[in-house]
Structure 1
Amino acid sequence: IRPGTDAALALGMVKVLLDEELFDAEYVRLHTNAPFLVRLGERGYDLQEASRSWPAGGESLPVDLRDLRLLTNGGSGPGSFVVWDERSGRPVAADTPGAQAALRGSYTIDGVRYQPVFEWMRAIAARYTPEVVHRITGAPADSVAAVTREYASVRPAAIIQNMAGAQRTDHGTLTVIGHLYLASLTGNVGLLGGGVNDNGGYLSEGGTVNPPVPLQRNPRIEGIPATKLGEYLVERKPHPIRALHVAGTGVLTQYPNTRKIIEGLDNLDLMVVQDIFMTTTARYADFVLPVTTLFETRNLLAGIRSRYIQLMEQAIEPLFESRSDRWIMTELAKRLGFGNDFDKPDDDLLRYVLEPTGVTLDQLEEGPVNPMPDPWIPFADKKFNTPSGRIEFFSLYLQERGFDPLLEYLHPVEAPWVDERRAARYPLQLINRKNHNHVNSSFHHHDFLTEIWASQVLQIHPDDAKPRGIEDGGRIRVFNDRGEIEAMAQVTRGIMAGVVSVTTGWGAVNEKQTASILSPDKYEPISLGHTLNSSMVEVAGGGAASPGDTA
């Protein structure tokens, strides 16, 4: 489907689940806040009547969902929220024993009209008919119901995002929320083989290990979103950045709008990069600190996509003048006056990190250890870390931060089907994909891998390639008003017409192959993530005009 339109597809599927009663009503009633009563305005809102004239999905609603208010009994905690009990015919606390919480209907309490959250979900989703979903996403209209029925008929059922950065569009968090809606409505949460996952495998529980040193945050210091680094460097706001110390990342290959970042580097007094290789970013540094490889350092290996904790044994002494990242940070901390927390033997720090897991260094000396139950099933106990203790279709977290508390699709900001004026110059939507030979910008310095994958590769549909005179394997240029990259064309029907795809993170070998040159430096408003899949470009053969000629 069109990049950035997944939430519209999800709402179309929600409509089918609700219309055909394919959802798990008992699960929704007991373990989500769908039955919680909500009002709009001081006296309430006639949702059933008013929603009949609401515009189709993708068009602005005549009401502001942020103004919705949940009914409470004046208390606090999970027991403070109110539902309508169908058995007693009156409002009761959501956790009242024996209550049968209503999912449908409209109820007047003390002269104010309320509806369950479920009714608002249904009214919003009703606007996403198969025809509307097709118009927004490009998905065949007759496929929406078929896919939904198949998903609802299988239990457990999982939604796998394939490590593709589902949130990396202008409103990408809505994609993830849409997936969670589908899993929660069908009761596919807390089941072995169910849920929503970015890689189809294992995601470890957060907070199972300690940070290397106790965290001491200064509330007066605000972080800088990575997506805004170029803007902050160039415009010197909200305050001038005088020094940049880069460790463990590729600023000029992973951060957006590379050209603006390079421009902003001139405003620095000092730039230091610590890395294993002389990367693209390192070449712009005033000082490069050589870092040890994993073969020269004793450390722990643990990640969110592996259930095991493993000891990384040091194989050789550090070569030449290289030092570990921890050694560099410890020495820097000493000079800044707080080195005591850092200046400890490596094994003492490793033991501290391991404390919450119950795993010891002695165990790891024998081999990798899985500290989690096998299988570990998140939310099997149906306990959720939310204000209501339930899955929250109506998200108080989002509402408190100024966002819609209920899922509603928003168009991407930068997309050819949205911005027709810009599409006249840059008619193709650019997305980034993973590559099995490289991990982001890692491994680009390996000669063997470079031999078998030596160039950035752009995938393009035959219907887009033919009118541009582009052939499979030909050299091409990809550009917009932010910059230009070079690539080899792969003409394939494996990508949607109107969309082109490049490898994310490529560019440690050649800056003109780094896709981040083309991506905008705006961030997804909820997650603050890089919207690298919301870029518009044009593609041409090697002799095409440069972006400066077309801007």
Structure 2
Amino acid sequence: MTASAPVVRADARPPVTPHVPTTSHWGAYSVRPEADGRLDIRPHPADPAPSPLLGNIDGALRHATRVRGPAVRRGWLEHGPGPSRARGREPFVEVGWDEALDLVAAELARVRDEHGPQAVFGGSYGWASAGRFHHAQSQLHRFLAQFGGYTASRNSYSLGTSLVLLPHLVGRAGTDAVLRAASSWPTLVQHTELIVAFGGIPAKNVYVTPGGVTRHRTPGHLADLATSGTHIALISPLRADLPEGLDSTWYPVVPATDTALMLGLAHTLLTENLHDRAFLDRCTTGFDTFARYLDGRTDGTAKSADWAAHICGHDADDIRRLARRMAASRTLVTVTWSLQRIQHGEQPVWAGLALAAMLGQIGLPGGGFGHGYGSMGDVGDHGPQLRLPHLPQGPNPVDEFIPCARIADMLLHPGESYEYDGEQRTYPDIRLVHWAGGNPFHHHQDLGRLRRAFARPDTIVVHEPHWTATARHADIVLPTTTSLEREDFGGGRRDTHLIAMHRAVDPVGEARDDYDILGELAARLGFGERFTEGRTPRRWLEYLYGEWREELSRATRADVPGFEEFWAAGEFELPSGPSDFTLFEDFRRDPDSFPLGTPSGRIEISSAAIAALGLADCPGHPVWLEPDEWPGAVAAERHPLLLIANQPATRLHSQYDVGAHSMASKVAGREPVELHPDDAAVRGIRDGDVVRIFNDRGAVLAGARLSHGLRPGVLRLPTGAWFDPAPNDGDGDGDVPLCLHGNPNALTADVPSSRLTQGCTGQHALVQAEKYEGEAPPVTVRRPPPLQDGASVPRHARGPRSAAGGDRDHADHADHLPPLDRPETP
């Protein structure tokens, strides 16, 4: 009997594939591709509050903005490496992988051999994937370290100010305790009577953590505060900085004046003898210096509630009543990360710590000082504190680094000196930028200036899944896979699970993993075996998991499954860890036996080390310093509105801005800007109108959304809309960009918070707004840039060009490069 062919019925359906597990920075989920190409996304079954950001994944995977194949900017391909104002304005030529990799490898070798490895900037911000092996920053830095080294960046845009300041005040272990291991949410629910929340506790941010959160418990804990009797004083010009339904009082202060309010509260505690002198004497140093500043003996001005009320725009009696309530309650003083992203951003963090120290509750359950509640999903979490598997990067042979927010300064001013944390440093001369994982045209400020800075290097290489502004301003773009197109494992810093990230779909176009790309480059440069160690990505996962399994088993005596069992199960629930870190509890009990890592071993309300630096923009104790951009500045006469550029609720940074959830929030196809109805009325702006927001640095078009939930005189325009400069915009020397899509960093200032920390100041900007008359130009960033077939485009055969015919090493180290003729000549 012969076997017959299977019968195919007319109504037959392809076999249903199961959902496969994976995770993201906004939470774990499972995914299944459907027959129509869409994705069926299901949150992790243990997640009590799944993130709405999961709604962006499906529409973004195969969006038109995916980079389908390697591409080279036409001018670079024809004329070779060299500074160019054509970046971001010129078509790309599609080439094959071998040609692209040969070009990158040759250029890396040229720059290293002619200028040294410090002339390569290893740009990567680390947010590209929740996976621990396919972590773009680790992959790139491992590659460049073995290549011979690179100039690195340090700290973050989110916390660049605090990460430098806090070690001076509470030591490095104390900094970690403040940022990652303060009182947990259950402890706050149980013990805290009053939370004074400077910058609020924005619920939109608690869904996000590097590596992800499997169980989003913070929304539930916030709801528990409503029934626990905890009162919250919301100190913010934005009502949305605290969820509805809580027992709260809103203090809609003038933006950038939190430090003045803190000083007014501290002055009330001091003059009414409500401060804890015993705690201050035993656990702090420098209070007497601070007290002389508070009562006016230093400068003749008492920092009273009346003084503070004049600055922050709130009633002096309310300030005094709040100070008395703080002294009579178990009180947590918390400061969001956003408050340190302004000029003099050190001061609200330092003043908040001093205020908490005066209450004497640091080290008590549910009391003291917090920094970041509502800024990140794992602040206040009580999950395990366990190191997860990770790819080793190895040491960087080059010592050069910059604070991450100084990238434009570095590119524009090589050889110039700057101050950082008590050191005098010099910006290196960067000839090649190699970027993988991150989008500086999202994170950075003053995007017109950043465009001029990106014109400076000889070559910019970018690994990217999408045609972001960073990719469009590159010379060579290498398409990379997303998390759904490869295997990995992931989890957050205090997550409850390690998640097996199964490959769900085939790579889009010719996309490759960063590991594959860098392995090919390493092979061309002579260290391929050292980079890969002979392992495929799956073998690396098995190896890294095995090492981690042995370490975890020894440390916790937990029964950790082998890799195959873990992979088949799709996850491993991690052993429980301590609910709260006890550093400040131990310190409070016995400061001599458990000193902090500061010069005094105590909390430094005044710092002799910082005072000795003689920095006018960051003296030795908390002070009120007027920023250049706040409603009381002289500049407010021309630009009377204060723009707040906070984190978006509809995406992580700029990731998946083309996703459905993000797109649903747009107004007139652009990023929404919130205005108070009074401000809108005097400008003839109605809900849904296109609004032009502008200052001397740039302009944006955004869609108006009117709201009483913000202080008059304040606009809210979230970050993360993909930068979309108008065609031929900013071509001339000194011209400013018009972003058609509403990216607020076309308006923000690229100046440091202070010479101590060099943190970013992207939270605020003074602006003016007007209704856009006529038909607004269309948004273009949601389609690819012009692409050409590479077959007929000539390749360069010459060395790097000089900048606009000038001397690259001497003539053009200014913010404003001279205009270049188009097309450029070699």
TM value normalised by structure 1: 0.74
Corresponding letter in the other structure for 1:465: A
Match of 1:315 in 2: 503
Quick one: which amino acid aligns to residue 222 of structure 1?
F
Q: 1:367 corresponds to which residue?
A: 572
1:346 aligned to 512, 537, 541, which one? 541
How far apart are the structure 1 equivalents of 2:714 and 2:439? 26
After the TM superposition, which residues 412-427 of structure 1 pair with which residues of structure 2 at under 5 Å, given as runs? 412-418=627-633, 420=634, 422-427=635-640
User: What is aligned with 2:647?
Assistant: 434
Once the 2 structures are TM-superposed, how far is the Cα of residue 540 of structure 1 from its aligned partner?
A: 0.6
Determine the structure 2 residue equivalent to 1:518: 747
SS in structure 2 of the partner of residue 379 of structure 1: helix
Is residue 18 of structure 1 aligned with residue 264 of structure 2? no
> Counterparts of 1:72-471 in structure 2 under 5 Å?
127-155=302-330, 157-162=331-336, 165-194=338-367, 195-200=369-374, 202-203=378-379, 208=387, 212-213=391-392, 215-218=394-397, 220-223=399-402, 225-237=403-415, 238-303=427-492, 306-308=494-496, 310-316=498-504, 319=507, 320-332=509-521, 340=530, 343=533, 345-349=540-544, 358=555, 362=562, 366-369=571-574, 372-382=577-587, 383=594, 384-399=596-611, 401-402=613-614, 403-418=618-633, 420=634, 422-453=635-666, 454-471=669-686
* Structure 1 residue 220 displacement after superposition: 4.3
More displaced 10-residue stretch of structure 1: 8-17 or 199-208? 199-208
Q: Secondary structure at the match of 2:705?
A: strand
Secondary structure in 2 matching 1:142 = helix
Q: Distance in 1 between matches of 2:662 and 2:326?
A: 39
Pairing 1:492–2:697 present = no
* Contact 1:475–1:486, Cα closer than 8 Å, also in 2: yes
* CA distance in 2 between partners of 1:400 and 1:159 (Å): 28
- 533, 539, 542: which one pairs with 2:772? 542
Equivalent in the alignment of 1:87: none
1:215 Cα deviation after fit: 4.7
In structure 2, the CA distance between the partners of 1:189 and 1:291, relative to structure 1 (3 Å rule), is farther
Q: Is the 8 A contact 1:309 1:371 kept in 2?
A: no
Structure 2 residue matching 1:288: 3-state secondary structure: strand
Cα deviation for residue 235 of structure 1 reads: 4.7
Equivalent pair of 2:388/2:491 in contact (CA under 8 Å) = no
* Structure 2 CA distance for partners of 1:249 and 1:6, relative to 1, 3 Å: same
Cα pair distance change 1:51/1:236, threshold 3 Å: closer
Residue 234 of structure 1: how far off its partner (Å): 4.0
Report Cα offsets for 1:23-66 as digits up to 9, x if no partner: 3333322222257x889xxxxxxx79x9548332xxxxxxxxxx
CA displacement at 1:432 relative to structure 2: 1.1
Q: In the alignment, which residue of structure 2 is the partner of 1:95?
A: none
Shift of 1:395: 2.3
* Mapping of residues 30-45 of structure 1, within 5 Å: 30-34=282-286
CA positional deviation for 1:229: 2.8
List alignment gaps of at least 5 residues for structure 1. Answer: 40-46, 57-126, 547-551
- SS of 1:281's partner is helix
Distance 2:264 2:620 in 1: 18
Distance 1:535 1:29 in 2: 40
* Worse-matched range after superposition: 181-190 or 247-256: 181-190
- Shift of residue 312, structure 1, vs aligned partner: 3.7
| CA distance in structure 2 between the partners assigned to 1:477 and 1:171 by the alignment | 29
2: CA distance between counterparts of 1:137 and 1:310?
46
For 1:166, what is the secondary structure of its paired residue?
A: helix
Amino acid at match of 1:529: G
Relative contact order, CA 8 A, sep 6+: which one is greater?
2
User: Structure 1 338/408 Cα, relative in aligned 2: closer, same or farther at 3 Å?
Assistant: farther
**Preserved contact between residue 462 and residue 492 of structure 1 (Cα < 8 Å):** yes
What is the TM-score when the length of structure 2 is the normalising length?
Answer: 0.51
> Are the aligned partners of 2:677 and 2:707 in contact in 1 as well (CA < 8 Å)?
yes
- Backbone CA RMSD of aligned residues: 3.4
Task: Out of 397-406 and 273-282, give the one that drifted further.
Answer: 397-406
1:275 alignment partner AA: E
Aligned match of 2:790? none
Report if aligned partners of 2:274, 2:327 keep a CA contact under 8 Å in 1. yes
Shift of the alpha carbon at 1:153?
2.1
Task: Confirm or deny: 8 A CA contact 1:230 1:257 kept in the other structure.
Answer: no
The SS at the match of 2:644 is strand
Residue number among 709, 718, 728 corresponding to 1:503 in the alignment: 718
Q: How far does residue 469 in structure 1 lie from its aligned partner after superposition?
A: 1.4
Kept in 2, the 8 Å contact 1:478–1:539? The answer is yes
Structure 2 residue aligned with 1:112: none
The answer on whether the counterparts of 2:444 and 2:762 sit within 8 Å (CA) in structure 1 is: no
- Which AA in structure 1 matches 2:406? K
Give the counterpart letter for 1:264 in structure 2.
Answer: A
* Count of residues in correspondence between the two structures: 461
- Judge conservation of contact 2:296–2:303 (CA < 8 Å) in 1: no
Equivalent-residue separation in structure 2 for 1:377 and 1:299 (angstroms): 34
CA contact (8 A) 1:300 1:309 kept: no
Ranges in structure 2 where 5+ consecutive residues have no aligned partner? 1-252, 416-426, 588-593, 726-738, 777-826
Q: Is the 8 A contact 2:268 2:305 kept in 1?
A: no
Equivalent pair of 1:461/1:500 in contact (CA under 8 Å): yes
Q: Distance in 1 between matches of 2:708 and 2:260?
A: 24
Identity of aligned residues (%): 27
Q: Structure 1 residues 371 and 318 mapped into 2: Cα distance closer, same or farther (>3 Å)?
A: farther
Q: Give the conservation status (yes or no) of the 8 Å contact 1:191–1:377.
A: no
- Judged with a 3 Å threshold, the aligned counterparts in structure 2 of structure 1 residues 212 and 186 are, in CA distance, closer, same or farther, namely farther
Counterpart-to-counterpart distance in 2, 1:20 and 1:309: 50
